[in-house]
Each structure stands twice: as structure tokens, then as C-alpha cells.
Amino acid sequence: MSKPRLWITRKLSQNTEIRAQRDYDVVLNPDDTLSTADDIVRMSAEVDAILPCHSEHFDAATVERLDPRVKIIANHSVGVDHCDLDALKKQGICVTNTPDVLSDATAEIAMLLLLGAARRAAEGDSMVRSGRWNTWSPSFMVGTQVTGKRLGIVGMGRVGQVMARRARGFDMQVHYYNRTQLPEALEQGAIFHSSLESLLPVSDFLSLHCPATEQTKGLINSDALMQLPDGAILVNTARGALVDEAALIRAIDSGKLAAAGLDCFVTEPGGNPEFATHENIVMLPHIGSATLETRDAMGFRALDNLDAFFSGGVPTDKLV
């Protein structure tokens, strides 16, 4: 019996590609080039399954053009805002994602950004690298202390819960806003807020961990930022679309926000060039899950979903 033909759209971890080649007739992308909508449509006629990343967009117009041969989109990501799930469901295409496995890595990056923004890491690094460090005094490079401060978490899912545990190591008081309140055992002392409006005024630090949906796009806008305490710090390791970037710049320029730490942007790759002129905005190029361990785990989770599908079962992470 021939193996299902699988297209892996980007270069994945070596262990993932080795396993995929063992079990599937695989089309790899060793040059790691980005595929256009036309590329996706063309390849859909040549394969039974596609294993894409967040960089490939399955919008309604693209999905309508897909060949009937392709039966499953096994995403190498947790977020699926790059997929029009309704359109894919209408075409009878199964869609999966890779939850759980990147929570630790993403929370690590969130804490890195939180600490870096609070302690002016980008500014200090630039000063030393450029040879501009030529003074010191007790008033030099004074930042914001993290220990004992209040952390507001928007979205208390897997990543949010790990972030809360990391924050407790810094004796932070954790508050959170979520669609539903967690059981007491999962809250571990975190304080639930039934509305964003209740959470914002008590958030010395605000960390975003919710998906980007039609309801959450632009969630952190001018009104939301004004409700934060003066000198608050914003951290976003979820999706760039959650934040109104122009409003963020205004809040930074006015001093309403002391700093921000960002791993995701509205425009990716590339980010927002206006941010580059602000040393109190610490930026990373969307690397929240970029560890060797997590990349293997994500790839294997996507392959697990494919294995289940082609064996006649239901993938664990089936979304539609």
C-alpha cells in the first residue's frame, strides 16, 4: 500500500523530517522558502496532506481553489488565525493544531520580555555594544522592579497558566481575565476578573496569552491602555493583532506605558519600524516557541495528528 503524500511547507526540525520521511511520501522545503497562495493551490493537487506553519495563509479565496485531493491541514502551530476554519470545514478538510507542547517555551519568552522591558535591557545592551557606556551613578539606568508587583494575564489557557507559575517565582501577585474562571486547583491563588475593564487598573504588568479572533483583534487599544496604572508595562507573546500598534506608540510616547516587550507584530515578518526608535520597547522576531525541544514536540504532534487521520481515527487536536 502506498504511503500518503505529504507536503511540509517549511523547513522543520531534523527529527521531525526524519520521522515524516519514514512514514510518508514527503515533499520537503530544504530552502525554507515561503509559499504563495498559488503555490498552495498547485501543491494541493499533488498531495493528500499539508503540514503548514503560521506563515502559510488558508483564507477563504485560497481554500475555494484547493484541489479535492488534499484532505487534512495539520498545522505546525497552536494558533490557527491563518486558517479560515469555516471555509475549510465547508470543503470537508480536516484541520489540526499543536497545543500543549509550546507552553513552557512561550512563557519563558514572555518572562524574558517582561524582565527585559522592566529593567531596560534593550537600552542597556545597545549602550554597551555601541561604546556609549561612559558613566555611572545611582540615578543611572533605573528601571522597574518586578518582585512583588501585580501581573495581569489576559487568557488563562495553557501558556497563561505557565506564565502565572513563573511569575509566582518573582513573588508577583497574579490577576487574570478569562472567558471562564478556572477551578481553584488551577488558579493557585490567582485572582479572577470577569471583565478586562476590571483587570486593567490592577495590572502593573499586562501579559497577553489569548488567541487572535474577530472578537479579540485590537483588544488592547487606546481605551484599554488608558485604564492601566501609570508606568505599566505591556508584554505580548500571543498575536500581534491583539494590539493597536499606533495606540501603543502613543502610550509609550506619553509615558503612560513605561515600556513594552513584544514577540509578535501586526506585520510579520518585519515588525513595526516605528517601534525601532523606542529603546523602551524590547522586541524579538516571534521566537516564543523556538527551542530545539519544542520544535521537535510541535513537529511530532502534527505528525501524530496525521497518523491518526490516515489510520482512520480522529486526530487528538482536530479543530474541524
At 253, is the pLDDT very low, low, confident or very high (cuts 50, 70, 90)?
A: very high
Catalytic position from the list 46, 64, 197, 268: 268
Nearest residue to 110 via CA among 240, 236, 272: 236
- What is the mean predicted confidence (pLDDT) over 245-272? 97
pTM: 0.93
221 within domain boundaries: yes
Q: How far apart are CA 268 and CA 55, in angstroms?
A: 9
Same domain for 150 and 129: yes
Q: Is 268 a catalytic residue?
A: yes
Q: Which residues pair with 281 in a beta bridge?
A: 260
- Asked if 163 and 206 touch (Cβ cutoff 8 Å), the reply is no
Q: What is the pLDDT of residue 44?
A: 98
Q: What is the pLDDT of residue 4?
A: 98
Question: CA angle 287-252-151, nearest 5°?
Answer: 60
Cis peptide before 269 (omega within 30 of 0): yes
At 106, is the pLDDT very low, low, confident or very high (cuts 50, 70, 90)?
A: very high
Q: What is the pLDDT of residue 163?
A: 98
319 within domain boundaries: no
Q: What is the pLDDT of residue 237?
A: 98
241 by DSSP, 3-state: which?
A: helix
150 within domain boundaries: yes
- Asked if 4 and 24 touch (Cβ cutoff 8 Å), the reply is yes
- What is the mean predicted confidence (pLDDT) over 22-45? 98
Q: Is the pLDDT of residue 236 over 90?
A: yes
pLDDT in tens, 262-278: 999 999 999 999 999 99
Same domain for 165 and 93: no
At 171, is the pLDDT very low, low, confident or very high (cuts 50, 70, 90)?
A: very high
- Asked if 41 and 61 touch (Cβ cutoff 8 Å), the reply is no
The CA R_g of the chain, rounded to the nearest whole Å, is 21
Q: What is the pLDDT of residue 110?
A: 98
- Asked if 218 and 163 touch (Cβ cutoff 8 Å), the reply is no
Q: What is the pLDDT of residue 142?
A: 98
Same domain for 129 and 46: no
Nearest residue to 311 via CA among 299, 320, 303: 303
- What is the mean predicted confidence (pLDDT) over 227-255? 98
Q: What is the pLDDT of residue 211?
A: 93
220 within domain boundaries: yes
318 within domain boundaries: no
Q: What is the pLDDT of residue 160?
A: 98
pLDDT in tens, 2-21: 999 999 999 999 999 999 99
Q: 243: which DSSP letter? A: B
Average pLDDT, the chain: 97
316 within domain boundaries: no
Same domain for 267 and 128: yes
35 within domain boundaries: yes
- What is the mean predicted confidence (pLDDT) over 56-80? 97
Q: What is the pLDDT of residue 168?
A: 98
Q: Is the pLDDT of residue 1 over 90?
A: no
At 45, is the pLDDT very low, low, confident or very high (cuts 50, 70, 90)?
A: very high
Q: What is the pLDDT of residue 133?
A: 97
Domain count for the chain, please give it: 2
Same domain for 148 and 35: no
Same domain for 123 and 39: no
Same domain for 297 and 249: no
CATH number at residue 246: 3.40.50.720
Handedness of CA 206, 53, 302, 97 (dihedral sign): positive
Q: What is the pLDDT of residue 184?
A: 96
Same domain for 138 and 37: no
CA count, 13 A, side-chain hemisphere, 53: 18
Q: How far apart are CA 127 and CA 34, in angstroms?
A: 35
- Domain holding 145, by residue range, is 103-283
Same domain for 139 and 90: no
- What is the mean predicted confidence (pLDDT) over 62-80? 97
Catalytic position from the list 239, 245, 295, 301: 239
- What is the mean predicted confidence (pLDDT) over 189-213? 97
Same domain for 200 and 118: yes
Same domain for 73 and 203: no
Q: What is the pLDDT of residue 262?
A: 98
Same domain for 118 and 53: no
Catalytic position from the list 120, 209, 286, 295: 286
Nearest residue to 60 via CA among 29, 93, 87: 87
The three cell numbers locating residue 70: 488534499
Q: Which residues pair with 261 in a beta bridge?
A: 235, 282
Q: Where are the beta strands (DSSP E) in the chain?
A: 5-8, 25-27, 49-51, 72-74, 94-96, 150-154, 173-177, 191-193, 205-208, 232-236, 257-262, 281-283
Q: 73: which DSSP letter? A: E
- What is the mean predicted confidence (pLDDT) over 11-34? 98
At 295, is the pLDDT very low, low, confident or very high (cuts 50, 70, 90)?
A: very high
